[in-house]
Amino acid sequence: MKSRLLFLGPPGAGKGTQAHLICKDSGLLHLSTGELLRDEVSAGTELGKEAELIMNKGELVSDLIVLSIVEKRLSKYDEGWLLDGFPRNLSQAKLLKDLLEKISQPIETVLLLNIDDQLLIKRMLSRGRKDDNEEVISNRLKIYRDQTSPLVDYYKNLGILQSVNGVGTVEDVNSRIKKVLN
Ligand code: B4P
């Protein structure tokens, strides 16, 4: 199986859910920037206090904060990883490219989870996280369209993008993903 992966898709598409399953089966390092930021918030660190205000509005935390979180973990790990929710804009994608060149670990596959807005909203409202209310969700979807979706073409042009239908049960989506990665 491919061992340097990136999961891309709109908020609520199931990136975290699927990344968790894939990493549990394969032993890859699961690196979710959303989770790592929420850990900083729960621990009450300075970084967490700064990030919480931004996340509660549905906006993106600064590129440098996110990069420093990722860099610390990736440079210590060379047995395969899955990046979930990072990068989220072109500037983060370029910072990541530089970092991966430095440690000679290029991405093998970018997996895009496709799903329509109505279902995303339904999933997020039933999850009920602090940043899952209608106003914040609509801002997160707008930010995805404006800032994150250009990454689809960016990775398509590099020839490493694969799309998977994210509609269906968790198990259905998981078996579609495994087919693509194996
Ligand atoms: P994330 O933690 O990345 O969360 P997400 O995109 O909202 O969700 P994900 O796609 O992982 O969906 P999930 O599996 O949970 O980001 C949160 C915030 O952190 C961002 O808004 C931003 O502020 C900040 N942030 C993170 N990374 C950043 C970065 N790189 N730069 C700047 N800021 C950053 O699934 C959603 C729900 O659907 C769950 O309840 C799940 O149980 C359910 N579900 C999943 N699959 C399903 C299925 N097949 N059927 C039914 N339900 C399903």
pLDDT, tens digit (0-9, with 9 covering 90-100), for 24-76 = 999 999 999 999 999 999 999 999 999 999 999 999 999 999 998 898 888 77
Percent of the chain residues past pLDDT 70, beyond the cut = 100
Judge residue 70's burial from the number of C-beta atoms within 10 Å of its C-beta, 0-12 exposed, 13-18 middle, 19 or more buried: buried
Q: What is the mean pLDDT of residues 127-152?
A: 96
Q: What is the mean pLDDT of residues 87-94?
A: 97
Q: What is the pLDDT of residues 148-179, one digit of tens each?
A: 999 999 999 999 999 999 999 999 999 999 99
The answer to whether residues 6 and 110 touch, using CB atoms and an 8 Å cutoff, is yes
Q: Is 112 in the pocket of ligand 1 (CB under 6 A)?
A: no
> Considering the domain 4-171 in this protein, what is its CATH number?
3.40.50.300
- As a whole number of angstroms, the distance between CA 14 and CA 85 comes to 10
pTM for this predicted structure: 0.94
User: CA of 61: how far to CAs of 28, 55, 56, in Å?
Assistant: 25, 7, 11
Instruction: Identify the residue with better confidence: 96 or 77.
Output: 96
Q: Which residues contact 159 (CB under 8 A, 6 or more apart)?
A: none
What is the position in ligand 1's atom list of the atom closest to the CA of 38? 19
What is the position in ligand 1's atom list of the atom closest to the CA of 33? 27
Q: Which of 123, 146, 174, 177 maximizes ligand 1 atoms within 8 Å of its Cβ, making it the mutation to test the pocket?
A: 123
Residue nearest to atom 40 of ligand 1 (CA): 127
Of 101-105, 124-128, 163-167, which gets the smallest average pLDDT? 101-105
What is the CA(15)–ligand 1 centre distance, in A? 6
- As a whole number of angstroms, the distance between CA 167 and CA 169 comes to 7
Write out the H or E segment, with its range, that includes residue 36. Answer: helix 33-43
Q: Is 151 in the pocket of ligand 1 (CB under 6 A)?
A: no
Read off the tokens for 6: 């990136």
Residue nearest to atom 23 of ligand 1 (CA): 55
What pLDDT does 24 receive? 96
Q: Is 67 in the pocket of ligand 1 (CB under 6 A)?
A: no
Q: Which of 6, 8, 21, 33 maximizes ligand 1 atoms within 8 Å of its Cβ, making it the mutation to test the pocket?
A: 33
Q: Is 17 in the pocket of ligand 1 (CB under 6 A)?
A: yes
- As a whole number of angstroms, the distance between CA 53 and CA 45 comes to 13
What pLDDT does 54 receive? 96
What is the position in ligand 1's atom list of the atom closest to the CA of 34? 2
What is the position in ligand 1's atom list of the atom closest to the CA of 17? 14
Q: Where are the domains of the chain?
A: 4-171
